[in-house]
Amino acid sequence: MTYQFTIIVPVYNEADNLLRVESELLNYLKIATVTTTVLFVNDGSSDNSQSLIETICKRNGAFEYISFKENKGLSAAIKAGFDHVDTNLVGYIDSDLQTTPEDFNILLEHIEAYELVTGVRSNRKDAFIKSMSSKIANGIRRTFTHDGMIDTGCPLKVMKTDYAKRIPMFRGLHRFLPAMIMLQHGRVKQVSVRHFPRIAGTGKFGFWNRLFGPLVDCFAYLWMKKKYINYDISKSSTRK
């Protein structure tokens, strides 16, 4: 089968969630509006995640995985996914299932006219401190990037793969994907998606790394924006 869309699922110590992830993704594949495959990226988990991922992939032909030797962080996992995929469209979803794969169809409705379509978590089900720190962090990022993104940290996105592969990723840059697409003169759209409470596993980001980390990363983004190389070819004699 020729696939059009790859869903990247970064995994770090999510053994308690993975069978639910399998079930939810299998249900989505039945209703997906484009032919879809799934790529797990195991970010050096120290629990039973890798064994479960291998079992899941063995019994589902549309599922694949890559696994890091050691934990490298969410940005590295997403970049590895971008590097690996060969479909025209790529997206990702967190393995905590606080968003639902079903909402990929909502994003896919708009992807033809945009280079990235990102979810906005409506009616968030997080604790007050988590929601407030995320809101502050989003405000800080908007001040630096002027990208207009309400919820850039939403773990539900779809983008055109050729744009995704050109993003020069560094640690923490997963928070700046819309801004990095816009640096390539790509078009970005925000769409409301559903949000659910975490019912298994534990969150990987705390209050301080939601606030201090993004602030530091904003300066890295500004440096990259100043140095970023972007060009358009007007003519070429090459056959590629």
Is residue 235 in a domain?
Answer: no
Phi/psi at 3 (5° precision): -95, 150
Backbone torsions φ then ψ of 13, nearest 5 degrees: 55, 55
234 lies in some domain = no
pLDDT in tens, 114-135: 999 999 987 765 555 556 656 6
* Percent of the chain residues topping a pLDDT of 90: 57
Enter the DSSP assignment of 171.
T
Cα–Cα distance measured from residue 144 to residue 215, given in angstroms and rounded to the nearest whole number: 9
Does a structural domain hold residue 240? no
Please give the angle made by the CA atoms of 220, 222 and 224, to the nearest 5 degrees.
Answer: 70
Residue 239 inside a domain? The answer is no
- How confident is the model at residue 2, as a pLDDT? 93
Q: What is the CATH number of the domain that holds 34?
A: 3.90.550.10
CA–CA dist 125, 60 (Å, integer):
31
User: What is the mean pLDDT of the segment spanning 58-76?
Assistant: 95
Asked, for residue 176, whether it belongs to a domain, the answer is: yes
- Please report whether residue 232 resides in a domain: no
Mean pLDDT of the chain: 85
Tokens of 187: 């078009």
Find the domain containing 89 and state its range.
5-227
What is the C-alpha to C-alpha distance for residues 186 and 180, in angstroms, rounded to an integer? 9
In the structure encoding, which two tokens stand for residue 201, read together? 């596993």
H helix or E strand, kind and range, residue 190:
strand 188-193
Q: Which residues contact 145 (CB under 8 A, 6 or more apart)?
A: 176, 179, 218, 221
Convert the pLDDT of each residue in 16-45 to its tens digit: 999 999 999 999 999 999 999 999 999 999
Query: Stretch 72-92: mean pLDDT, rounded?
Result: 95
Rounded mean pLDDT, 197-224: 64
Q: What percentage of the chain exceeds 70 in pLDDT? A: 80
- Which range, of 3-17, 70-84, 108-122, 185-199, averages the lowest pLDDT? 185-199
How many other C-beta atoms lie within 10 A of the C-beta of residue 131?
13
